[in-house]
């Protein structure tokens, strides 16, 4: 029996965590979007979104949560049902504006159907990095200055809806996250010539865009983030308190200690 909650499950560990915490929730997936919940989920092509809406309503869904990483699937207009045909102009207009604009449109579309859209952090207490987290060695004055520089960069590019993180060393920006994601950014930073760092290891800062709706695509870190930051030669990472998801918390913290980098949180204006 459903408790009126549905998980629209995409990739990664988050949908699994939600399913364990809410065993009565119904699971839905989108065709072409891999998910670890696919074995227990009803799958719908995005082109037939009207069928997804109908199935959720028939099952008594009142609340829903988007969970996991979602790459933009290719759409076939020849397969559009009436509902997708209706919303397609708005969807196509939102796509070029960036991820935040697109996700706001998606949220509004589901709300228009009468569903309450929740964030994963609303359903999993303790999911986000708390204020005051401090793991590993204390950052130096230079690293704090690089953190301030990275934070300023992220604040300034927020209106452009580009990405949620950047790396800075010696006051120089080594890279900004774009659509390729965190792994690509940190792999790029790892290849930066040492001379560009001005004698500093540098820091990685991750935070949501200013004004971002955190119900979908909240920034996320986990053990793989720690490994990538360390492999990039950076001194540590700084994340926005209460606004960044931490997956596998114990393993993430332990790996930061093991690799000798810092993981700290702070309030971002």
pLDDT digits (tens, 9 = 90+) for 55-89: 999 999 999 999 987 766 678 999 999 999 999 99
In the chain, % of residues over pLDDT 70: 98
Classify each residue of 146-173 as buried b or exposed e, where b means 16 or more C-beta atoms within 10 Å of its C-beta. Answer: bbebbbebbeebbeeebbbbbbbbbeee
The residue that leads in pLDDT, 102 or 153, is 153
Which residue in this structure is represented by tokens 């549905």? 6
CB-count exposure of residue 188 (10 Å: 0-12, 13-18, 19+): middle
Whether the Cβ atoms of residue 111 and residue 56 lie closer than 8 Å to each other: no
Whether the Cβ atoms of residue 84 and residue 47 lie closer than 8 Å to each other: yes
What's the whole-number mean pLDDT along residues 117-128?
A: 93
What's the whole-number mean pLDDT along residues 184-196?
A: 92
Cβ within 8 Å of residue 229, ≥6 positions away: 186, 204, 236, 237, 261
pLDDT of residue 268: 85
What's the whole-number mean pLDDT along residues 233-250?
A: 95
User: Is 1's pLDDT higher than 50?
Assistant: no
Beta bridge partners of 237: 204, 263
Task: Give tens-digit pLDDT for 8-62.
Answer: 998 888 999 999 999 999 999 998 888 888 888 899 999 999 999 999 999 999 9
Whether the Cβ atoms of residue 12 and residue 69 lie closer than 8 Å to each other: yes
Which residue in this structure is represented by tokens 């005051």? 132
The token pair that represents 35 in the structure block: 């998910």
Q: Which domains does the chain have, with CATH numbers?
A: 5-123 (3.40.50.20), 134-266 (3.40.140.80)
pLDDT of residue 2: 57
What is the SS3 assignment for 112?
Answer: helix
d(C-alpha 90, C-alpha 64), whole Å: 22
User: Is 180's pLDDT higher than 90?
Assistant: no
User: Is 240's pLDDT higher than 90?
Assistant: yes
**Torsion from C-alpha of 44, 48, 53, 57, nearest 10 degrees:** -70
Strands 116-118 vs 63-67: parallel, antiparallel or unpaired: parallel
What is the SS3 assignment for 66?
Answer: strand
Strands 26-30 vs 116-118: parallel, antiparallel or unpaired: unpaired
């Amino acid at each position: 029996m459903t408790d009126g909650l549905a998980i629209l499950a995409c990739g990664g560990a988050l949908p699994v965590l939600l399913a364990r915490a809410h065993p009565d929730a119904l699971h839905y997936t989108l065709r072409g979007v891999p998910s670890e919940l696919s074995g227990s989920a009803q799958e719908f092509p995005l082109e037939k979104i009207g069928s997804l809406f109908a199935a959720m309503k028939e099952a008594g869904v009142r609340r829903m949560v988007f969970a996991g990483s979602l790459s933009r699937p290719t759409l076939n207009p020849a397969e559009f049902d009436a509902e997708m045909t209706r919303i397609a102009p708005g969807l196509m207009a939102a796509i070029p504006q960036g991820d935040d604009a697109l996700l706001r449109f998606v949220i509004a579309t589901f709300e228009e159907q009468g569903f309450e859209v929740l964030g994963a952090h609303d359903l999993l207490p303790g999911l986000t990095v708390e204020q005051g987290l401090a793991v590993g060695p204390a950052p130096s004055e230079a690293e704090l200055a690089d953190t301030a520089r990275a934070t300023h960069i992220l604040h300034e590019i927020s209106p452009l809806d580009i990405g949620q993180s950047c790396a800075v060393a010696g006051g120089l920006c080594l890279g900004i996250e774009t659509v390729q994601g965190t792994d690509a950014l940190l792999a790029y930073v790892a290849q930066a010539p040492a001379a560009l760092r001005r004698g500093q290891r540098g820091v990685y800062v991750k935070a949501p865009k200013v004004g971002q709706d955190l119900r979908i695509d909240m920034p996320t870190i986990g053990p793989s983030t720690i490994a990538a930051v360390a492999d990039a030669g950076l001194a540590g990472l700084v994340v926005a308190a209460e606004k960044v998801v931490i997956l596998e918390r114990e393993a993430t913290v332990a790996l930061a200690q093991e690799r000798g980098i810092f993981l700290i949180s702070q309030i971002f204006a």
